[in-house]
């Protein structure tokens, strides 16, 4: 499932989640592939490549990213077990999982497993 399709813009309301700059930029290195995730207003954009000036960078594998992004596993556990490395702003990193609605595990399993790029960019 693509992160873009489970993005939850409802978390970007005036209740304090909106970043001071008006946007967040995350860098992901997933199984060696690099992506930039930009969240501005109520929109999310995901592109291949390494973004400059990311608030936080996540280095991990697809399964761990999904578990953390969908709230199925705490960031701290994935880090402790060596499956996730985060650099940059810890507060921004902790917000990352809140950006996504948790998908139904049964429908997720029925869809199969597209490649990492498809999962992230929604292709």
> Quick one: pLDDT band at residue 109, thresholds 50, 70, 90?
very low
Instruction: Give the per-residue pLDDT at 42.
Output: 79
| pLDDT over 90 (residue 100) | no
CA distance 25 to 52: 9
Position 80 confidence tier, pLDDT thresholds 50, 70, 90: very high
Mean pLDDT for all residues in the chain: 78
Lowest mean pLDDT among 18-27, 76-85, 108-117: 108-117
CA distance 2 to 117: 9
pLDDT (mean) for 103-123: 47
**pTM of the predicted structure, to 2 decimals:** 0.74
Residue 8: pLDDT above 50?
yes
User: Which residue would you say has higher pLDDT here, 72 or 106?
Assistant: 72
> Does residue 15 have a pLDDT over 90?
no
Residues 6+ apart with CB under 8 A from 66: 1, 72, 119
- Domains, the chain, with CATH or none: 3-98 (3.30.1050.10)
Residue 20 has pLDDT above 70, yes or no: no
Which token pair is 113? 């497993």
Place of tokens 């209740």: 15
């Amino acid at each position: 499932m693509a992160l873009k399709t489970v993005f939850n813009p409802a978390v970007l309301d005036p209740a304090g989640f909106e970043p001071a700059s008006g946007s967040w930029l995350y860098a992901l290195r997933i199984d060696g592939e690099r992506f930039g995730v930009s969240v501005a207003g109520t929109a999310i954009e995901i592109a291949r490549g390494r973004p400059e000036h990311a608030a936080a960078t996540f280095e991990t594998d697809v399964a761990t990213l999904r578990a953390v992004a969908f709230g199925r596993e705490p960031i701290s556990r994935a880090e402790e077990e060596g499956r996730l490395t985060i650099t940059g702003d810890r507060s921004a990193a902790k917000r990352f999982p809140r950006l996504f609605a948790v998908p139904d595990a049964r429908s997720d399993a029925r869809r199969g497993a597209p490649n990492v790029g498809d999962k992230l960019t929604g292709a």
